[in-house]
Every structure is written in C-alpha cells, then in structure tokens.
Chain A
Amino acid sequence: MSAQEYAFLVLAFVGCVSAVRLVTTKNVVHGALYLVLTLLAVGGVYLILGAEFIAWVQILIYVGAIVILFLFGLMLTKAPIGRDTLDNQQRLVAALVGFGVFAGLAFLIQGAFEWADAPDIALVHTDTGAIGSSLFSSYVLPFEAISFLLLAALIGAVVLARKDEPR
C-alpha cells in the first residue's frame, strides 16, 4: 500500500463517520460542524486525486460560504435539540431505503469493475489553466447559464426573505 492509498483510506474513514454522525446527531449545530468535517475530508480526497483547484474551491465555497449560510439559517430559526424533534417517525424505513441505495450502488460498482483490472489513479498534477481554457472554450454556454442561474437565485433569495410592506 502506498502513502497515497493510506491517506485516502484515512480521509474516506473520517468522511464516512462524520457523514453518518451528520444524519444521526441530535444537535443541529453539531450537524453543521460534522458537515464541515465531511466537506474537509472530501476536499482532501480531491487533493489526493490531483484536483487541487476543485479542492480549494470546495474549501472556500462549501466550508467558507455554504456552512456559514447554514449556521445563519440555524440562528434565524429556532434550532430544536433532541431526536424526536429532529427526526420523524419513518426512521426505520429511511434507514432501509438508505441501505438499499448503498447495496444497489455497491452491486453495480462491483459488477462494472473487476478489482484486478480497475483503472489506477496515479497522482498527477492537473493544470488549473487547462480547466480555465476548457471552461471558456468548450463549456462557455453552460458557464453563462450557471451565471444566470446564480443571479436569479440571488434575486430570488432577496425577494423571498425580505419583510413584506405593511398594507
């Protein structure tokens, strides 16, 4: 086993444990902090895969912006504590469905790749400039669409969260 593989296994373990804790914790603020841990582990996996630009984007946007938004959302709504107020009654069915999804995906992955001749992932450095030129040559139309989507989402969020004028 190489150092790369050890690092991946440790990060995947941390990510899986904190993902499980995220969906089972009794305290919403702890949930947000477990989300940070999961996102950091996923960012580390991106680094191991050689996608350093995506890794920093993950840490900047997810950990820096989205989790802060979540914490503001928790702050502005009353955040209840306790299993019965956080979870609904279908916990067992949900666990069955989640396990079924994992079993189905694992079956498909196992069937799609033989372990012996599965593609190796060597640690290669991806050029961030290559992402930029690909983004602005082949995928310029989706890029414009996504910028329009972000603008519409910003305006929509402002309009939705604004206090109504008293009539």
Chain B
Amino acid sequence: MIRLPMILFFSAFLFSCGVYGVLARRNAVMVLMSIELMLNAVNVNLVGFGAALHDITGQVFALFIVAVAAAEVGIGLAIVILLFRSRGSINVDEVNLLKW
C-alpha cells in the first residue's frame, strides 16, 4: 500500500532539484527545464492528494497546470531565441539590459 507521504517526499525532492537548477544554471534553456521539473512536482502533489482523498479535482487542476506549462515553454523559448538573435548568448547572468 502506498502511503501519501511517500508521494509527497518524491514531489518535494523533484521540487528542490528544480530550485537548485533554476539558481545554479546559466543557460536559459536549462533554467526553463528546471522550471518544468518544479511544475511536475506540483502535479505529482495534486494527483497524489486527489488519489488519497478520492477526489477528481486534483486531476482536473493537473491538466490546467500542463496547459500552463505548455504556454510557458512556448513563450520562454521564443524569448530565448530572440535573446540569442540580438545578443549572441543565452547566459542569464549576461542579460542586464533592464538593470540600472
């Protein structure tokens, strides 16, 4: 029998890996991948709680999060490609146009 905390621990581990990736990576595409990891961890939590409470709402909101993730990746990669075209580099610590 799977207990709910096992799933929550799995999700927490995925989320903290994503946090590390967002903070430690320089490449913008890798940062986006880490964000996907964090969104997936949230989805695991939603589906896990939905299964434990016998409620379908968790899965409905997991679907919403998948749609938001798809939109976010589309916009994010468009920005990354635009950035590469105008500056020749997608390192997030070299992009300081808005910094004063």
Task: Mark A residues whose CB is within 8 Å of B.
Answer: 2, 4-5, 8, 12, 15-16, 19-20, 22-23, 28, 31-32, 35, 38-39, 42, 45-46, 48-51, 53-54, 57-58, 61-62, 65-66, 69-70, 72-74, 76-80, 85-88, 90-91, 93-95, 97-99, 101-102, 105-106, 109-110, 113, 115, 118-122, 124, 126, 130-131, 134-135, 138-139, 142-143, 146, 149-150, 152-154, 156-158, 160-161
Contacts and interface: CB of A to CB of B under 8 A. Distances in A.
A69 B8 CA distance: 29
B98 interface: no
A76 B36 CA distance: 20
A-B pairs, 5 with minimum CB distance: A98-B20, A94-B23, A153-B71, A23-B21, A102-B16
B31 to A, nearest CB: 10
13 contacts: A16-B14, A28-B30, A70-B77, A101-B12, A119-B3, A122-B1, A124-B54, A131-B59, A131-B63, A149-B67, A153-B72, A156-B74, A160-B75
- Tell me the interface secondary structure of chain B in the complex: helix
Given A39-B40, A135-B60, A160-B78, A23 B25 contact: yes
Interface in B69-88: 69-75, 77-82, 84
A121 B10 contact: no
- Tell me the interface secondary structure of chain A in the complex: helix
Contacts of A85: 26-27, 91
B9 A124 contact: no
Given A119-B4, A135-B63, A161-B82, A102 B30 contact: no
